Amino acid sequence: MNPGLILVRLISLVVQVINLLIIADVLLTWFPQVDRRHPVVVALRRLTEPIYRPIRRIIPPEKTGYIDLSPVIAIFLIIIIGNILQGLILRFLVLPVR
């Protein structure tokens, strides 16, 4: 199999995993009875907070009626960046111009 195609599939997998982590983090905020100190919750927050932080600096929740849009924006940006990377790999590594 072409290494470029393997890289494209790997990027797709990474994008899916990151998006699932973000969705899980968002869903956990809907359940106040969940212990925020549970090791799984702490690990999930450690993985997602670095993704949210730059977005929150640009669009703080205070300016959007205290609705945190950073998870939604993060998902869109991750998908867009993943698609751009996959397109570049396909164009230059898998299907080179002759």
Residues of the chain with pLDDT under 70: 96-98
Place of tokens 């959007």: 64
Pull the structure tokens for residue 5: 């195609």
Q: Please check whether residue 60 lies inside any domain of the structure.
A: yes
Q: Please check whether residue 17 lies inside any domain of the structure.
A: yes
Q: Which pLDDT belongs to residue 3? A: 87
Q: Please check whether residue 65 lies inside any domain of the structure.
A: yes
What is the pTM for the complete model shown? 0.90
Q: Please check whether residue 98 lies inside any domain of the structure.
A: no
Q: Which pLDDT belongs to residue 7? A: 95
User: Is the dihedral angle over the CA atoms 55, 61, 65, 68 positive or is it negative?
Assistant: positive
Q: Which pLDDT belongs to residue 65? A: 93
Residue 52: give the domain boundaries: 3-93
Q: Which pLDDT belongs to residue 98? A: 58
User: What is the tally of structural domains in the chain?
Assistant: 1
